[in-house]
């Protein structure tokens, strides 16, 4: 027997009480029972997105689908948009926008850099006809947290330009004040902070984004926001929804409301800090820069002389702990420890202990127990 | 307490052993374990689609998403296609194709008519530049079964024209010989004959359809078949898959393989015939014409003097049996009894008995027990 622990930034662990909803006999989606589920999910998501002004729409698709929905609903071919890229998912938005014939300008940063809002301000001054700015709030690939509050403030000054935020691993882990910060389009996926299996994605649409959608001429059908909005007036969906996942979402959103959004975010901040202090105490180096570290995932440099893929493999096979490796250029060079969604204090201890044992096996030179000790200090609120 | 029975043509009941897979702790999708699930699902779907020549691709979306995928992958704006419409889902294909700027010709039939393959042959003779023909094999809205074998034979004669079959409620209920009948694109959804919750859809793509996709210039990303094919070579998916639903699909496909495709279809034919004989014995009239009745759903005219919505409501609230009403023009005028997927002999008896009791309550004049009796005769193999 080997107990298994899923410590990745998506899919994330699903709470047992939510998992059990997935085993319930299926119900029909055109019924008062399911209408109630839709209503609960939308209200719960508005709470999580911290919005009263925006509509929240739910799709049966994964995160990339909802990213595509933001492009096809808000723009026309030839529209100029600016994408700030400092990781894999910013790159994906670029691919989508180009697939639909948008004129894409890119502010490219290294994966270890945060997006500089001043660069965006400068760009918009020079290119006032820009129709949209896209920023990934929390990069799953690098753990970098971008300051979307400041960017929101800048984009507010351009009435024809909307601000699109990929918060797929942000929502539920870090603060995302949709209304207050002027975020026109915010996206998330079910298998992240919402503590569900993958297969659902949600987007919030501000009045400014709806106005943009009015002039959009890009072809669309399944991802046509207006169809979803129209159905939502009757608490239903234009196409068959992922019934069981929606019922699960209803359950997980209730858990988040019970805990309270502030507490959810504070818990993630505590777990992230414990993870960071833990790995640093082991003598490892954090990948994300001090000025922008998110709460969803902690990427860590694999120390010299250690094979990163081997490290991940030992943690999984010997200790049952699945963490993520690096993507693209960083495959084998970094490890990524997820603490997004259904995570609590002792999950961090479990991961750090497994990491310590794997490093010991690989003969890395460090003080055994030091990582766990440092994490405990954070979890107990002791300043180091 | 009231036991509940879901007798609708989608979502359909999910077998308990499949439901239980949905409550298992989530696993990561970039692992050898999940690669095996992907491989099993593709092989199982090829078996169910009766194809060796076509690739089968799986998406996290509902049926309408995979319908859109067939349009955006096979055509260019301005391409001429022919859609034969005799129900709600043919209409949907028309909406999708027009949303993407195709030149759509429609062969329109009544909801109680079958598509006449000769009309298609005649059309193609006059319009040899037609790039695609679309037919719904089994119309969920009307229960009509169209003869796609003959249409397949006709379209084979046009090397530049592909044949797209919406078999969303066909696959698993009626024969669908993808290779033998020359079906270039066949689509289905998880919440139908595959006995799963909604949220997954699959499409088969023939070499002729791949050739068509080579010249397609329509914008696409999430539904880009080539991305899925490329990932499939590594038994994976380009975007995060609906992990739990895929694991469920693996389980339900194993059940279908164990039963054997011929037996699965024979069971559906038996249940459909028992339902038809049962309602006719009650003095009700079948909606679909004798020359084209499918095995997935049996629509029945609500007899004069009876309120169809009331009938559906009594069956649900008094007897726990959920059937579907009519759609669009037929709302309140027909009822639709589903027997698609996880259905066995006694499910038909349950539905007919509930129908009898509801009709009795509404003071419809018939011989109580006669519907059940007629169904029993069919189920026992006795010729009436």
Length of chain B, in residues? 384
In the predicted model, residues of chain A with pLDDT beneath 50 are none
Asked if residue B383 has pLDDT above 90, the reply is no
B108/B89: higher pLDDT: B108
pLDDT given for residue B382 in this prediction: 72
Helix, strand, coil shares, percent, chain A, to 5: 40, 15, 40
Strand boundaries in A313-365, DSSP class E? 321-322, 324-325, 334-338
> Is the Cβ–Cβ distance between B30 and B348 less than 8 Å?
no
Nearest chain A CA: its distance from B241 CA (Å): 7
Q: Which of A158, A120, A117 is nearest to A292 (CA)?
A: A117
Give me the residue label for tokens 């028309």: B94
In the stretch 140-169 of chain B, residues with CB closer than 8 A to chain A read none
pLDDT of residue B89: 87
Q: Residue holding tokens 């700015």?
A: A133
Which residues of chain A make contact with B200, given a CB cutoff of 8 A?
Answer: 199
Question: How near does any CA of chain B get to the CA of A97, in Å?
Answer: 9
Beta carbons of A6 and B27 less than 8 Å apart: yes
Please give the Cα distance from B59 to B53 (Å, whole number).
20
Residues B308-321 have pLDDT tens digits of: 999 999 999 999 99
The answer, for A197 touching chain B at a CB cutoff of 8 Å, is: yes
Mean pLDDT of B217-233: 98
Tell which A residues from 74 to 93 touch B, by Cβ distance under 8 Å.
77
pLDDT at A382: 72
Task: Provide the pLDDT for residue A97.
Answer: 98
Do A189 and B29 lie within an 8 Å CB cutoff?
no
Shortest distance, CA B191 to any CA of chain A (angstroms): 9
Tokens at A355, concatenated: 């990491």
Task: Please write the tens of the pLDDT for every residue from A46-75.
Answer: 999 999 999 999 999 999 999 999 999 999
Find, in chain A, the residue whose alpha carbon is nearest to that of B67: A222
Smallest CA–CA distance from B95 into chain A, residue: A221
What does the pLDDT read at residue B313? 97
Phi, psi of B292 (to 5 degrees): -160, 75
Interface with chain A: mutation pick from B228, B240, B341, highest number of A CBs within 10 Å: B240
- Cis omega (within 30 of 0) for bond into B11: yes
Q: In this complex, is the C-beta atom of A318 within 8 Å of any C-beta atom belonging to chain B?
A: no
Of the candidates B7, B8, B22, B9, which has an alpha carbon nearest to the alpha carbon of residue B249? B22
A19 contacts B4? CB cut-off 8 A: no
Gap from A182 CA to chain B (nearest CA, Å): 27
Record the tokens describing residue B55, joined without a space. Answer: 């690739």
Q: What's the mean pLDDT when you consider all of chain B?
A: 97
* Residue A368: C-alpha distances to residues A58, A285, A296, B65 (Å): 46, 17, 26, 52
Task: List CB contacts (< 8 A) between B61 and chain A.
Answer: 60-61, 65, 222
> How many Å apart are CA B45 and CA B196, to the nearest integer?
13
| CB of A358 closer than 8 Å to CB of A323 | no
Beta bridge partners of B108: B85
Separation between Cα atoms, residue A237 and residue A33, nearest integer Å: 14
What is the nearest CA distance from B157 to chain A, expressed in angstroms?
31
Count other C-beta atoms under 10 Å from residue B68's C-beta: 29
Q: Do A221 and B64 touch (CB under 8 A)?
A: yes
Give the residue carrying structure tokens 């014409």. B289
Site from B7, B61, B309 to mutate, A interface, most A CB atoms within 10 angstroms:
B61
Please tell me the distance from the alpha carbon of residue A286 to that of residue A297, in angstroms, as a whole number: 11
Radius of gyration of chain B (CA): 21
Q: What is the pLDDT of residue A88?
A: 87
- Contact with chain B for residue A231, Cβ under 8 A: no
Residue A257's contacts (CB-CB under 8 Å, 6 or more residues apart) are: A44, A47
CB contact under 8 A, A240 and B95: no
Tens digits of residue pLDDT in B274-301: 999 999 999 999 999 999 999 999 999 9
Which of A4, A11, A20 lies closest to B243 in CB terms?
Answer: A11
Percent of chain B with pLDDT over 70: 99
Q: Is A216 on the interface with B (CB under 8 A)?
A: no
Question: Token digits for A367?
Answer: 């003080």
**What was the ipTM of the complex prediction?**
0.95
Q: Search chain B and give the residue with CA nearest A97.
A: B221
Instruction: Report the pLDDT value the prediction gives residue B145, as an integer from 0 to 100.
Output: 97
**pLDDT tens, B51-63?**
999 999 999 999 9
- The alpha-carbon gap from A13 to the nearest alpha carbon of chain B, in Å, equals 6
Residues of chain B found within 8 Å of residue A239, distances taken between Cβ atoms? 62-65
Residues 6 or more apart in contact with residue B353 via CB below 8 angstroms: B319, B371, B372
CB A226 within 8 A of CB A213: yes
Find the closest chain A residue to B97 by CA distance: A221
Q: Give the strands of the sheet with B185-189, arranged side by side.
A: B55-60, B200-205, B185-189, B162-166, B132-136, B80-85, B103-108
Long-range pairs for B358-362 at CB < 8 Å and ≥24 separation?
B358/B311, B358/B314, B358/B315, B358/B318, B358/B319, B359/B282, B359/B306, B359/B311, B361/B314, B361/B318, B362/B306, B362/B307, B362/B310, B362/B311, B362/B314
Q: Is it the case that residue B29 has pLDDT exceeding 70? A: yes
Query: Can you give the pTM of this predicted structure?
Result: 0.96
Is residue B231 less than 8 Å (CB to CB) from chain A?
A: no
Q: How far is B24 from chain A (nearest CA, A)?
A: 7
Name the residue facing A62 among B12, B19, B60 (closest C-beta).
Answer: B60
Sequence-distant (≥ 6) Cβ neighbours of residue A153 within 8 angstroms: A181, A182
Other Cβ atoms closer than 10 A to A290? 8
The answer to whether the CB atoms of B199 and A25 lie below 8 A apart is no
Nearest CB among A13, A219, A220 relative to B25 is that of A13
- Chain segment B136-158, per-residue pLDDT in tens: 999 999 999 999 999 999 999 99
CA nearest B17 in A: which residue? A23
Rounded distance between C-alpha atoms, residue B81 and residue B161, angstroms: 9
Which of B11, B101, B199 lies closest to A28 in CB terms?
B11
């Amino acid at each position: 027997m080997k107990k298994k622990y899923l410590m990745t930034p998506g899919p994330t662990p699903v709470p047992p009480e939510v998992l059990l909803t997935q085993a319930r006999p299926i119900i029909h989606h055109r019924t008062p029972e399911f209408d109630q589920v839709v209503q609960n999910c939308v209200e719960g998501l508005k709470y999580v997105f911290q919005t009263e002004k925006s509509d929240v729409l739910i799709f049966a698709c994964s995160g990339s689908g909802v990213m595509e929905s933001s492009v096809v609903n808000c723009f026309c071919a030839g529209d100029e948009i600016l994408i700030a890229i400092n990781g894999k998912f910013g790159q994906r938005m670029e691919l989508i926008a180009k697939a639909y014939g948008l004129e894409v300008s890119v502010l490219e940063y290294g994966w270890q850099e945060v997006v500089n809002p001043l660069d965006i301000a400068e760009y918009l001054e020079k290119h006032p006809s820009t129709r949209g700015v896209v920023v990934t709030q929390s990069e799953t690939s690098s753990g970098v947290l971008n300051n979307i509050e400041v960017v929101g403030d800048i984009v507010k000054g351009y009435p024809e330009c909307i601000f699109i935020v990929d918060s797929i691993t942000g929502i539920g882990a870090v603060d995302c004040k949709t209304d207050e910060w002027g975020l026109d389009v915010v996206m998330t996926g079910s298998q992240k902070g919402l503590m569900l299996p993958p297969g659902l994605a949600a987007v919030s649409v501000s009045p400014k984004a709806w106005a943009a959608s009015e002039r959009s001429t890009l072809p669309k059908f399944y991802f046509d926001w207006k169809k979803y909005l129209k159905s939502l007036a009757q608490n239903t969906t234009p196409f068959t929804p992922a019934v069981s996942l929606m019922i699960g979402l209803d359950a997980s959103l209730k858990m988040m409301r019970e805990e309270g959004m502030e507490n959810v975010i504070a818990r993630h901040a505590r777990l992230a800090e414990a993870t960071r202090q833990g790995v640093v105490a082991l003598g490892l180096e954090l990948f994300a820069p001090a000025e922008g570290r998110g709460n969803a995932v902690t990427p860590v440099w694999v120390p010299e002389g250690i094979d990163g893929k081997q490290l991940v493999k030992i943690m999984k096979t010997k200790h049952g702990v699945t963490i993520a490796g690096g993507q693209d250029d960083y495959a084998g060079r970094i490890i990524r420890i997820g603490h997004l969604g259904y995570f609590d204090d002792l999950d961090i201890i479990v991961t750090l202990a497994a990491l310590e044992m794997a490093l010991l096996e690989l003969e890395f030179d460090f003080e055994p127990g030091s990582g766990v000790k440092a994490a405990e200090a954070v979890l107990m609120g002791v300043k180091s």
